[in-house]
Amino acid sequence: MARVAGVEIPNEKKLKISLTYIYGVGNSKAQDILKATKLDGENRTKDLTEQELSVLRKYLENDHEIEGGLKQKTFRNIKRLKDTRCYRGIRHKLGLPVRGQRTKCNARTRKGKGLAVGGLKQKITKT
């Protein structure tokens, strides 16, 4: 497997698809990377030469924020919102939807599994 930006990208997939395994690179960014490095996205990753891989690595390291740096930046932004106690920060702290979605009947992804509300059933013991 080829190692790019600290991630092992799959050999059997086309280059344009295997680049999306890197955190921070989606389909459109993968196309932009291939245009800038003048690589063919239809080639399989295993068919790349070492020189082409080094060009790809250098371009990603110098021109794009990916993987660890991007994760740290996202974490710092959320932490800043929480520290300033703004509305979005409070929603992050409470684990509720941040961007105005309704919470009465949806938002299971953010709120988690719904817990039953009510009295607990007591075991009947023999007397």
CATH number at residue 46: 1.10.8.50
Q: What is d(CA 4, CA 33) in angstroms, rounded to the nearest whole number?
A: 13
Q: Give per-residue pLDDT as tens, 5-25.
A: 888 888 889 999 999 999 999
94 pLDDT band, cuts 50/70/90, is very high
Q: Give per-residue pLDDT as tens, 13-59.
A: 999 999 999 999 999 999 999 999 999 889 898 888 899 999 998 99
Q: Which residues, other chains included, contact 81 with Cβ-Cβ below 8 Å and sequence gap of 6+?
A: 88, 89, 92
Q: What is d(CA 40, CA 11) in angstroms, rounded to the nearest whole number?
A: 15
Q: Is residue 32 part of a domain?
A: yes
Q: Is residue 21 part of a domain?
A: yes
Report how many domains make up the chain. 1
From the centroid of its chain, how far is CA 32?
Answer: 19
Q: Is residue 54 part of a domain?
A: yes
Q: Which domain holds residue 15?
A: 2-63
Whose CA is closest to 37, among 69, 10, 64, 11?
Answer: 64
Q: Per this entry, what is the length of the chain? A: 127
Q: Is residue 98 part of a domain?
A: no
